Amino acid sequence: MQKYSITIEKVYIANLPDTFVSQSLNSIHLVQGGIAGDLHFGLTKSAGTREKMYPRGTEILNRRQITVVSLEECQIIAERLGVKKLLPEWFGANLAISGFPNFTKLPAGSRILFPSGAGLLCEGENHPCTALASVIQGNFSDQSIQRKFVQQAMGLRGIIALVEREGVVHAGDDAEIWVM
């Protein structure tokens, strides 16, 4: 097991109707199930297109309670697309971190621990999708971005996680990644 230090640059909630785009906050309270009021909140969810092994609508464990992205990886995607920057809130992020190379490759089972004692369990890569590509495209006039986004963001989109231990996370917190 290895331990690394990161910085929580920003925290967000995706709580607006009809969009997964998130809103910046000063702090978030992680509870079992995620962030109360967030689009992805809940201990369970209905199976969808990402869980093709189950009939659509089957109740399953919600492994996608929290979305975490790396500012460094957002910048790499932006450079690949030829734009100045991509904002974490466009990704529906709950946390934007810095200081960990190849963050999206963080192995499932790794943990992110916060000063409050809160902990996240990494469930793996959050694959880019066409819905996100559409949000990104809406912020730029170059029509080729939407077509290129999924390919250029593969392996850089961040991770999904679930809340393993409750607590508060503040923008500016120093946190630890424990790689399993």
DSSP 8-class letter at 153: H
Q: What does the pLDDT average to over 144-156? A: 90
Which of 2-6, 80-84, 146-150, 171-175 shows the lowest mean pLDDT across its residues? 146-150
Cα–Cα distance between 81 and 173 in angstroms, integer?
A: 30
Residue 176 has pLDDT above 90, yes or no: yes
pLDDT given at position 152: 94
> DSSP states of 162-175 as a string?
EEEE-EEEETT-EE
- The tokens describing 178, both together, are 């424990």
Q: Which helix (H) or strand (E) holds 74?
A: helix 71-81
Query: What 3-state class would DSSP assign to 76?
Result: helix
Cα–Cα distance between 82 and 4 in angstroms, integer?
A: 31
In this structure, the strands spanning 66-70 and 95-98 are parallel
Model confidence pLDDT, tens digit, residues 87-110:
999 999 999 999 999 999 999 999
Model confidence pLDDT, tens digit, residues 2-14:
999 999 999 999 9
Residue 146 has pLDDT above 90, yes or no: no
Q: What does the pLDDT average to over 128-145? A: 85
Report the alpha-carbon angle 75-81-83, nearest 5: 65
pLDDT given at position 147: 83
- The tokens describing 121, both together, are 């369990």
Q: Which of 69, 74, 87 is nearest to 23 (CA)?
A: 87
pLDDT given at position 180: 84
Model confidence pLDDT, tens digit, residues 107-134:
999 999 999 999 999 999 999 888 888 9
As a whole number of Å, the end-to-end CA separation of the chain is 5
Residue 140 has pLDDT above 90, yes or no: no
In this structure, the strands spanning 2-13 and 119-125 are unpaired
Model confidence pLDDT, tens digit, residues 37-84:
999 999 999 999 889 999 999 999 999 999 999 999 999 999 999 999
Q: Which domains does the chain have, with CATH numbers?
A: 2-179 (2.40.33.20)
Residues with Cβ within 8 Å of residue 59, at least 6 apart in sequence: 44, 45, 46, 47
Supply the Cα-derived Rg of the chain in whole angstroms.
16
